[in-house]
Structure 1
Amino acid sequence: MPSQSTQSVMNRFVEFINTANEDLAHEVISPDAVFHAPSHPEPLRGPDGYMEVLAMMRGGFSDVEWTLEEAVAEGDTVAARFTMRGTHDGEFFGVPASGSKISVQAMNFYYLADGRIVGERGQPDLLGLMRQIGALPAS
């Protein structure tokens, strides 16, 4: 598990992504942070960039919730595996709400400095997600 200060940052980050609280966003994410998300061709930046990703996710899954399953830290880098759960109750990537319950994994790398996240590279299981909402065949 990450060191205590790294663990504290990650705990606050999980609280942030599960609440979309803007005050927490500014507490845990550096204004200069760079996020690489497969949903966006260009990197997103700072707390507002992360809020944009959360708004997209909540638009498709209003009850979305992330669970940090495990994390390994080396210096200021954290490798984290999450499970994302929710109900597909809004349009997502052009797919109308299906009402399907989803549960998908994501592997992310976080880069920290001065007690904040300064970067992220995320790799969610979008194939599994699209299958679970009926956008792609199950097999």
Structure 2
Amino acid sequence: MAPESTEAVMNRFVEFINTGDEKLAREVISPDAVFHAPSHPEPLQGPEGYMEVLGMMRSGFPDVEWTLEETVTEGNTVAARFTMRGTHDGEFFGIPASGNKISVQAMNFYYLADGRIVGERGQPDLLGVMQQIGAIPTR
């Protein structure tokens, strides 16, 4: 996959995660895609699986927004660093809304084929999230 098309896929992906647009999800994510998220013990699949993760995030942080800070591409693999920002206005992992603002990093690997994402291994800073919403002490 050419770097331009990889960049285009990643830009569309960011648009998808920031809007939650199901049509866009089907365009950018393969139906057979496999996602490994630390929030789920088993891998999630396809656009529906990613919508599940987004739903979980949006239920705790309705205004959540991801900014793609940098990428490194090798072949069909993209390493991406994001900043995730939002306000804890809903329950998240059993923690009631605190109203606290969060800003944390995530490092993810994406696997692409035929202009779509076919896999992801994500590592968001869940410790940072839990500290910023007051669920875990910072010291």
Q: What range describes the TM-score normalised by the shorter chain of this pair?
A: over 0.9
| Corresponding residue of 2:39 | 39
Q: How far apart are the structure 2 equivalents of 1:27 and 1:73?
A: 21
Instruction: Tell whether 2:96 aligns with 1:96.
Output: yes
Q: How far apart are the structure 1 equivalents of 2:127 and 2:86?
A: 16
Q: For residue 122 of structure 2, give the secondary structure of its aligned residue in structure 1.
A: strand
| Corresponding residue of 1:23 | 23
* Residues 45-64 of structure 1 aligned to structure 2 (within 5 Å): 45-64=45-64
Q: For residue 27 of structure 1, give the secondary structure of its aligned residue in structure 2.
A: helix
Identity %: 83
Q: Which runs of 5+ in 1 are unaligned?
A: none
* Paired residue type of 1:104: V
Q: How far apart are the structure 2 equivalents of 1:87 and 1:125?
A: 16
Q: How far apart are the structure 2 equivalents of 1:91 and 1:110?
A: 28
| Corresponding residue of 2:67 | 67
Q: TM-score, normalised by structure 1?
A: 0.98
Q: For residue 33 of structure 1, give the secondary structure of its aligned residue in structure 2.
A: strand
Q: TM-score, normalised by structure 2?
A: 0.98
Q: Deviations over 1:1-35 (max 9, x none)?
A: x8100000000000000000000000000000000
* Paired residue type of 1:98: S
Q: For residue 55 of structure 1, give the secondary structure of its aligned residue in structure 2.
A: helix
* Paired residue type of 2:14: V
| Corresponding residue of 1:130 | 130
Q: Which runs of 5+ in 2 are unaligned?
A: none
Q: How far apart are the structure 2 equivalents of 1:60 and 1:85?
A: 12
Q: Deviations over 1:107-127 (max 9, x none)?
A: 000000000000000000000
Q: For residue 16 of structure 2, give the secondary structure of its aligned residue in structure 1.
A: helix
Aligned residues: 138
* Paired residue type of 1:122: G
